[in-house]
Amino acid sequence: MISGAESCKEPVGVIPYVEVNVDLNTLLPAYNSLQFPGNWVYVSGGSRGLIVYRYTLDEFVVFDRHSPYDVGAACQCKVLSDGYTIEDPCSDSQWYIFDGSIIAGPTTAPLERYNTNWISPVLSITN
């Protein structure tokens, strides 16, 4: 039998749903680094903020910064200095910035990824 407290727990890896509908004009100075593939920026939105990564000239990848390892702890992921690893500083779990797949750590869930639509110079991010 499941108690009332247990039935309300968030499933592992499922971050709280927050509607995301963001348009970024990549020509604005705040997003200048997104002019070039391999670069990334932090943006407001989602549950704990967003990581926007320009994968190719025509493709972007966007993840929520909320760590899926211990959702209740609300840890905010960060991009490491190597530029391709995202880390949860609370659990030391790590993911690739290219696709959100797991590199290391105790996590069993990938990062929450958002949909993107690129009509130059505007990147639209939705869920």
Instruction: Give pLDDT tens digits for 62-85.
Output: 999 999 999 999 899 999 999 999
B/e letters for 30-46, b = 16+ CB within 10 Å, e = fewer, are: ebeebeeeeebbebebb
Domain boundaries defined on the chain: 29-126
pLDDT (0 to 100) of residue 6: 43
Q: Which homologous superfamily does the CATH classification assign to the domain defined by 29-126?
A: Rieske [2Fe-2S] iron-sulphur domain (2.102.10.10)
Half-sphere exposure of 57 (CA within 13 A, CB side): 0
Give the count of beta carbons closer than 10 Å to the beta carbon of residue 22: 17
| pLDDT classification of 14: cutoffs 50, 70, 90 | confident
Residue 35 has pLDDT above 80, yes or no: yes
Name the region of 62 (left: φ>0; alpha: ψ -120 to 50; beta: rest): beta
Q: How is residue 61 written in tokens?
A: 């990848």
The structure's pTM equals 0.89
